[in-house]
Amino acid sequence: MKYEVVIGLEIHVELLTASKLFCGCSTAFGDEPNSNCCPVCLGLPGSLPVFNRRAIELAVTAALALNSEVQLTSRFDRKNYFYPDLPKAYQVSQYDRPLARGGSLEVEFNGGRRGVGLERVHLEEEAGKLIHAGDSIIGAGYSLVDYNRAGIPLLEIVTAPELHSGREARLFLEDLRTVLLYSGVSDCKMEEGSLRCDANISLRPEGSSELGTKAEVKNMNSFRSVELALDYEVKRQEQVLSGGGSVVQETCHWDEEKKQTIALRGKEGSSDYRYFPEPDLLPLVLESDFIQNLGRSLPELPAARQNRLRDQYGLEREEAFLLTANRELGDFFEEAAGEYNDYRTLVNWIQGDLLYQLRESGKQAEDLEPTLLVKLLRLLDEGSINRPVAKELLAEMVQTGADPKKLVRERGLERISGLESLLPLVEQVIAENPEAVENYRRGKEKALAFLVGKVMAMTKGRADPAELNRLFKEKI
Amino acid sequence: MRLYEQTAADLSRMLQSREVSSVEVVRSFLERINEVDPHLKAFITQTPVMALDSGGEIDARRMRGETIHPLAGVPVAVKDNISTMDLRTTCASRILENYIPPFDATVISAIKKAGMPILGKTNLDEFAMGSSTENSAFYPTRNPWDPERVPGGSSGGSAVAVATGMAPLALGSDTGGSIRQPASLCGVTGLRPTYGRVSRYGLVAFASSLDQIGTVSTTALDGALLMSLVAGYDPLDSTSLPDQIPDYSTGLELDLKNLRVGLIRYGRVEGFDPQVTETVTQAASLLEEHGAEVGEVSLPLTDYGLSAYYLIAPSEASSNLGRYDGVRYGFCSDGDSVEAMFSRTRGEGFGPEVKRRIMIGTYALSAGYYDAYYLKAMKVRTLIRRDYEQAFKKFDLLLGAASPTPAFKLGEKTEDPLQMYLSDVCNITDSLAGVPSLAVPGGFSSSGLPIGLQLTARPLQEKLLLKAARFFEEQRQPAFLRPRLEYLEGGGSNEI
């Protein structure tokens, strides 16, 4: 039997606030464990939560960027469960009255663009972080807990069950990440855990409209592992179903080492979180002006930018895609394009040499001033330097941020041209390479390139190649 | 003259005119505590050194001519579920027996800033769950009018401390009567302010939507002075009310000409002592004689108040008390797994009443039961609020009993939780409605036990309650009667 794969994602994104959702503690990543804590985020007896206005702004901004309908009144609820990383034994979250409902995100899949529906977007607080002694959560001798993360504002985005493969899930996530980065709400670093994804996955006979029994997959720590884990889970469920068995509703853990999903024993099943309205917070009531203002100040989103880059600069589809997906590179391009209107040359340098040098040196586009690249291209256009020199200079600029003009001047890298400079060199090369000269005379064009190359080597690539060609032809 | 018998207002005056020093005042109360507390056990933790230091500091500041708060140097006792920095805050529970908070409750900051020396932390029912202070994990507190009887609860320690002159003022907390019922049973004045009027920041949560810090005092004026200090908006408490506070302590004369008083007709409540009903009726007559308009009011839905309360409060409690798991602070047991450690910590750390309420609340919030219990109770709560709104269209003040009976015997109700829950029946609906409510001494039973009146007003009308309390004081001679503590006067060695 052929099966259709049905996947829904639950994405958690840490919001980029300086302080936590309900207290003034810092949200900095990587600080000394348990150093960014106070009575509120440690849930000490008697402490009470107070909203961080900035977190609400960011959450609303994200919801608007995802076309989700922001609710004028939403409410916070307590999700009760016991776990050592949860200081109050409940998480302040939103249950039946979320911040925003619905929404969609257009994603480029193999079969073309398709909108993926969202169920809801809501705000909640992060738990602390457990560090298990030993290899994994299973069989750890003891665990340590760091509450620095506890109370960081977290956005939960729940998709409709509208994804159909591990690949689709990955593509969706990548696009979602780009949108959230563009909206400025999160740094979306999967490796630091500021973007996390759980998936509900089930199979059903092709053509059926009923959902099959799902498994929940957790612990997928990269886009790649989302794809791998879900593909693995598809195969596993297929085998179970084809063998006449039935899928058990369970929570699985993706094991990155073994590349397989492992059912977590005894943890879930039918958790009853005993949600009820959080009595320590008033319902969140938003003014429609507040929402509209955030909507107006929403930055340009990826889809719009991609179109604009093509229209405004005449870029190819792939180029526009590259400069959108890599937001900093796109910003670099646009800033440079403000001063330099040969967009074709500019984009070629950016997606070619610049991107290469950035990768080589481990730097980011924002580490280099766009105006420096423009200076370099101008030197080239004016004929002040040769192309190989320009490439070398770019490598150095990326490393040190130096001004190319200054480098050229200091090191005397200007192009060498003019009869009095070049003629003695040409004559010297002719005298020293009689064989090549002879070959050229016999009509071997390659021999000319060889002779020009000799002068180039003597001048460290600075001689004007056009003038050299002319001089050799005249002299031979 | 015994300083410990003075009201806070008088002490304030004497301190300001430098008739006495704060150290002398503090010493007088500490001596009284030494004399009385071994018999009544109102305190869990006494802080004589801290209190004397604080008193000394105030005296020095006064000598230097600094402007200081009128209550500076007047000592206070604090219920032990209010966080005090660097001072053990136990909630009368084994699970927090050695817990020392790293921060002060907002009310404690206010008290310290004003320069009121803290005499100690007073006993309560564990996590404020109870009506007799017998649920303290450490020891019960005894009623000073008859040590065989309970002081009420849960703020029993605060009520006893004030009634016996171990403190001129005390802070308590009231979730479903925990200030008013013990005030009534001990013959003192207890005010539960409007929900949100006093910051809850630092009050260890029992039922967050009901908990409210309030005052225990011998007179209305003293209560007003303390209210002026602790009431007001607090940015650390999202449920705190932004409204400005009035000057509670001046102009406390009640204008009876334009006062409409609703005498509460209780529905089917068992075990109402006829002497209590009689005291309340007399109080109504007294108001009427002085020109108030008195009518009867029935709050039909209040019959369901007790049931609604005993679903909502335990539900919130089951969540609020989840944090006591032994991981971060407080008592911690051991176990082979983290789950076993949680279970044993909570099993050994909590007393029976706390466990009972956690179980009731967990049940009421569970999937499949939520609608029938918690949600229905919340709907009843809304209807009760409407009952009050209706009543306050006709009346400015509601008058009733603060407790259905005078103090009962120790052990009398411990085996029957329902009977114990019924002791709060007069207090609970005010809590559910979030309105301010006050207990003031109304008279005595034939066996000499205090009987309290309960006055209830519209939201934020604490001052009207204090005025009414002041009116009843003025009708009494003397204004405040202390228990005689005969069992002490034979040398203080009488065994209780």
* B316: in domain: no
Q: Is B319 on the interface with A (CB under 8 A)?
A: yes
Radius of gyration of chain A (CA): 30
Q: Which of A82, A89, A282 sits opposite B239 (nearest CB)?
A: A282
Say if residue B243 is in the same domain as residue B352. no
Name the residue with tokens 């076309």.
A67
Between residues B297 and A266, which one has the greater pLDDT?
A: B297
* B19: in domain: yes
Say whether A50 and B99 touch across the interface (CB within 8 A).
no
Q: Note the pLDDT of residue A398.
A: 92
Say if residue B173 is in the same domain as residue B107. yes
Indicate whether this complex's ipTM tops 0.85.
yes
How many Cβ contacts (< 8 angstroms) between chains A and B?
99
Domain residue limits at B342: 325-378
Q: Note the pLDDT of residue A138.
A: 61
Concerning whether B93 is annotated as a catalytic residue, the answer is no
Reported as a pLDDT band with limits 50, 70 and 90, residue B259 is very high
User: For the segment B55-69, what is each residue's pLDDT rounded down to a tens digit?
Assistant: 999 999 999 999 999
Say whether A272 and B318 touch across the interface (CB within 8 A).
no
| B375 contact partners, CB below 8 Å, separation of at least 6 | none
User: For the segment B324-348, what is each residue's pLDDT rounded down to a tens digit?
Assistant: 999 999 999 999 888 999 999 999 9
Q: Note the pLDDT of residue B404.
A: 95
Say if residue B371 is in the same domain as residue B411. no
User: For the segment B198-233, what is each residue's pLDDT rounded down to a tens digit?
Assistant: 999 999 999 999 999 999 999 999 999 999 999 999
User: For the segment B240-252, what is each residue's pLDDT rounded down to a tens digit?
Assistant: 999 999 999 999 9
Q: Is B431 on the interface with A (CB under 8 A)?
A: no
Q: How far apart are CA A129 and CA A127, in angstroms?
A: 7
* B187: in domain: yes
pTM: 0.90
Q: Is B137 on the interface with A (CB under 8 A)?
A: no
* B404: in domain: yes
Q: How far apart are CA A46 and CA B202, in angstroms?
A: 4
* B59: in domain: yes
pLDDT tens over chain A, length 476 residues: 789 999 999 999 999 999 999 999 999 999 999 999 999 999 999 999 999 999 999 999 999 999 999 999 999 999 999 999 999 999 999 999 999 999 999 998 987 889 999 999 999 999 999 988 766 656 667 889 999 999 999 999 999 999 999 999 999 999 999 999 999 999 999 988 999 999 999 999 998 989 999 999 999 999 999 999 999 999 999 999 999 999 988 889 999 899 999 987 654 445 799 999 999 999 999 999 999 999 999 999 999 999 999 999 999 988 998 999 888 899 999 999 999 999 999 999 999 999 999 999 988 888 899 999 999 999 999 888 888 889 989 999 999 989 999 988 888 788 888 888 888 888 888 889 988 888 888 888 888 889 888 888 888 888 888 888 888 888 87
- Residue B217 phi, psi (nearest 5): -150, 170
Q: Which of B236, B319, B322 sits opposite A48 (nearest CB)?
A: B236
Tell me how many domains chain B contains. Answer: 2
Concerning whether B154 is annotated as a catalytic residue, the answer is yes
Say if residue B429 is in the same domain as residue B454. yes
* B318: in domain: no
Q: How far apart are CA A164 and CA A4, in angstroms?
A: 7
Using an 8 Å Cβ cutoff, are A107 and A113 in contact? yes
Burial bucket for residue B247 (CB in 10 Å: 0-12, 13-18, 19+): exposed
- Residue A82 phi, psi (nearest 5): -100, 125
Say if residue B114 is in the same domain as residue B163. yes
Q: What is the DSSP string of B377-415?
A: HHHHHHHHHHHHHHHHHH-SEEEEESSSSSPPBTTSSTT
Using an 8 Å Cβ cutoff, are B168 and B76 in contact? yes
Q: Note the pLDDT of residue B458.
A: 98
Q: Note the pLDDT of residue A58.
A: 98
Q: Note the pLDDT of residue B490.
A: 47
Concerning whether B493 is annotated as a catalytic residue, the answer is no
What single-letter DSSP state applies at residue B128? G
Say if residue B338 is in the same domain as residue B252. no
For chain A, domains (ranges, CATH) are 3-293 (no CATH), 300-411 (no CATH), 419-475 (1.10.10.410)
Q: Which of A46, A90, A276 sits opposite B315 (nearest CB)?
A: A276
* B309: in domain: no
- The catalytic position among B21, B54, B79, B413 is B79
What single-letter DSSP state applies at residue B339? H
Contacts of A87 in chain B (CB under 8 A): 323, 328
Burial bucket for residue A319 (CB in 10 Å: 0-12, 13-18, 19+): buried
In CATH, what number is assigned to the domain containing residue B253?
A: 3.90.1300.10
Q: How far apart are CA B58 and CA B468, in angstroms?
A: 33
Name the residue with tokens 């409940």.
A90
* B257: in domain: yes
Say if residue B344 is in the same domain as residue B416. no
Q: Note the pLDDT of residue B52.
A: 98
Distances in Å between the alpha carbon of A236 and those of A7, A110, A165, A252, B255? 15, 24, 14, 12, 81
Q: Is B386 on the interface with A (CB under 8 A)?
A: no
Reported as a pLDDT band with limits 50, 70 and 90, residue B495 is very low
| Chain B, window 60-99: residues with a beta carbon less than 8 angstroms from a chain A beta carbon | 82-83, 89, 91, 96, 99
Say whether B200 and A45 touch across the interface (CB within 8 A).
no
